[in-house]
A and B are shown apart, each in its own frame.
Chain A
Amino acid sequence: MTPLHEGRNYPKNLLPIVGIVMSCLLATQVLAADKKIPRLSNGKPDFSGIWQSTSAADYDLEPHSNRKDAPPSAGSVEGEFLPYLPKALTQRQKNFATRATDDPALKGYTLGVPRGIYYPEPFQIFQRKQDLLLVHQFGHSVRTINTNGTDHPKDPYDWWLGDSRGHWEGDTLVVDVKHFNDKTWFDRAGNYHSDALHVVEKWAFLDPNTIEYKATIEDPNVFSRPWNISVILYRHREKNFQLIEDYRFTLDYDDNYPPKPNKP
């Protein structure tokens, strides 16, 4: 057998360098294979899995020192603070003062958007070509993001989780969410919105097990301009991790059931 390179005159001192370059290329390829994001059969990114944020966003979206009901955090908002209209800021301060009783999450209310995404409980995404189904462990509430080319309904209600219509911009899922009610908060610090809330979400893989979630939030009744948040979502990779029903709004009355034998 004749070696392929026979007759070619490679300088011998370059061979080790070629070797290093080759192995680097190989390593990069292996790394790239590792980082290959999951995709549906139609080629779109597949976000199926169980996700959760480790951020302190649910305690308070804005920067804050430690306090008894929250760890300190530099916040999750671009520009640090929410651009409240003066009157709305007063309401926010009232909400903050009564947060220990008035936070809708404490009553077991559906968390809304985007709070459900960064609330410290897992949620599971079930994805098909035409939609994504988000099941939040908290309240086991279900949100559908339509990716079937449909638009918001012409005769909408006000919904807890709004109406979500998504489309793909490259590998980023962009979701327009509106038609909300005014009964949810953004966090347990009393940051809030009206039923004019409009959220535009952007979901993109940073790597196969990490999603960067961004949202632009506007509400002309409460804020002077749109503002942005960003949180990272991590895939639950614990062995056999699974959602567990958490219908906590039933806890206030479920002791009445089931029937039990009369005590003698």
Chain B
Amino acid sequence: MLNASIIKTSEGVMKNKMIHEKLALCGLVLTGLALVPLLSFAAEETKPPAAQPRPAQKQLVLGGPGIEQERSFPKIVSGKWTGPKTADGQPDIQGHWSNTIANHNNFTDPQGGIVNDPNPNRVAKSARADRAPSRVSYPADGQVPFQPWALEKVKEFQAHFNDPVKPEYIEPLARCAPGGVPKSLYWHGYEISQYPGYVVFQFNSGTRIIHLDGKPPLPQNIKLWNGDSRGHWEGNTLVVDVNNHNGKALFGRSGEFISENGRIQERYIFSNDGSRYTYEALLTDPTVYTRPFTVTVPARKWTEKDQPNGWHYEVEPATHSGKNLILDHYERICAENNGGFGLVAEEGKK
């Protein structure tokens, strides 16, 4: 049974961490006082510096432990692709990827912790300039250009994130809803695989099938968590037009959102050595924003040379007779998506 297999697991840190996060997610139910400690638990994954008068800045290591891997990142520009190609001529960028700066705690101050976090130990102590820049790369103020009513809603969500007295204050990913666009790109590592006519993203919460096959987009009234993705390659850049959003997936625990009328034009710009990409997306939505704005997310590839990482690179050595290292990635099914109260509550009843 599940619990037994968790207990007998001796490989420790990585599996346990994964389980802890899942347990934390599973615990996020609609109502009840039990919510608050569980939410706090879920937030611990950011590992901000402990409360000190003036803490030394935590050293970040690319490929090292922890979620935050760097505070700044190189810009990759669109151009020719000189790296390997798949049989059908796409730049071959298959493998495990993850963002390098932070999880979805905070969209515009990615290393700044959860907005209005009541636990002083988790509030970022460093100066803003010492943390990674906003994911909003344009306009320059790093803020989403919300219309007043929408900004009010975001602030309301932030005020209640730690006190979710209404279902709408529960971040839907906590209920295992698909992360959506763009949040899936900074919620754990993910795997990209390529097939003739397709690029497929396997996230921990949801799967995106990007059509390169020229099939027509879905009818406009079909609304989807991950939208409807139609893409093509321009040199080193995967260009994807995403429509049909259901508008329900928030951009983070900070509550930013797009509506059903929004459009996201994505550019995944890959470095020719295949080690990194920069995600640049233009978000347009006349219902929610005052103007289009740009989102930038840096990502790097994780390979056999890296140590497994319980957040970025959740792989296990596969069982086989050869001497080469083959890595497995186990089932990506968020526990809670299989029940309103998740496996924990269900197991607890027994």
Residues of A whose CB lies within 8 Å of any CB of B are 41, 48, 104, 107-110, 124, 126-128, 133, 135, 139-144, 146, 148-161, 163, 181-183, 195, 240, 242-245, 247, 249-250, 252-254, 256-259, 261-262
Contacts and interface: CB of A to CB of B under 8 A. Distances in A.
13 contacts: A48-B196, A110-B338, A133-B200, A143-B331, A148-B326, A150-B318, A151-B319, A159-B330, A160-B333, A240-B216, A247-B206, A258-B257, A259-B153
A258 B247 contact: yes
Given A135-B209, A153-B316, A249 B326 contact: no
Interface in B278-293: none
B51 interface: no
Contact of B168 (A107, A140, A250, A257): A257
A227 B325 CA distance: 37
B248 A257 contact: yes
Contacts of A155: 5, 8-11
A208 to B, nearest CB: 16
Interface string B291-323: 000000000000000000000000010111110
Interface of B: 1-2, 5-6, 8-11, 30, 87, 149-150, 153-154, 156-157, 166-168, 170, 172, 175-178, 193, 195-196, 198, 200, 202, 206-207, 209, 211, 215-216, 218, 222, 224-226, 246-250, 255, 257-260, 316, 318-322, 326, 328-333, 337-340
A109 B338 contact: yes
Contacts of A127: 195
Given A153-B319, A257-B172, A259-B157, A160 B331 contact: yes
B225 A250 contact: yes
Given A254-B177, A261-B149, A142 B332 contact: yes
A156 B319 CA distance: 11
- Overall SS of chain B's interface: loop
Nearest to A151: B319
Contacts of B331: 143, 157, 159-161, 163
A24 to B, nearest CB: 36
A140 B224 CA distance: 11
Nearest to B249: A257
B206 A250 contact: no
A155 B318 CA distance: 10
A247 B206 CA distance: 9
A222 to B, nearest CB: 15
Contacts of B10: 155
A143 B331 CA distance: 7
Contacts of B202: 133, 142
A108 B249 CA distance: 19
A128 B193 contact: yes
Nearest to B255: A259
Given A107-B338, A158-B1, A247-B337, 5 more contacts: A48-B196, A126-B195, A142-B332, A157-B2, A247-B177
Contact of A150 (B150, B168, B178, B326): B326
A193 to B, nearest CB: 14
B168 A259 contact: yes
A160 B343 CA distance: 12
A149 to B, nearest CB: 6
Contact of B320 (A151, A240, A242): A151
A161 B333 contact: yes
Contacts of B337: 108, 110, 139, 247, 249-250
A252 to B, nearest CB: 7
B160 to A, nearest CB: 12
B182 to A, nearest CB: 15
A35 B207 CA distance: 33
A253 B175 contact: yes
Contacts of B8: 155
B12 to A, nearest CB: 12
A262 B207 contact: no
Contact of B339 (A107, A149, A195, A258): A107
- Cβ-closest 8 pairs across A and B: A257-B248, A259-B153, A258-B247, A150-B318, A256-B168, A256-B167, A151-B319, A150-B320
B178 A247 contact: yes
Contacts of B248: 250, 254, 257-258
A41 B195 CA distance: 13
Nearest to B247: A258
Contacts of B320: 148-151
Contacts of A245: 178, 224-226
A156 B247 CA distance: 37
Contacts of A142: 202, 207, 332
Contact of B222 (A124, A244, A254): A244
Nearest to B245: A258
Contact of A126 (B157, B193, B216): B193
B263 to A, nearest CB: 15
Q: Which of A41, A153, A161, A259 has the most CB of B within 10 A?
A: A259
A255 to B, nearest CB: 9
B86 to A, nearest CB: 10
A127 B9 CA distance: 32
Nearest to A179: B5
Contact of B328 (A41, A104, A153): A153
A107 B342 CA distance: 12
Contacts of B196: 48
A244 B200 contact: no
B179 to A, nearest CB: 11
Contacts of A243: 209
A175 to B, nearest CB: 15
A51 to B, nearest CB: 15
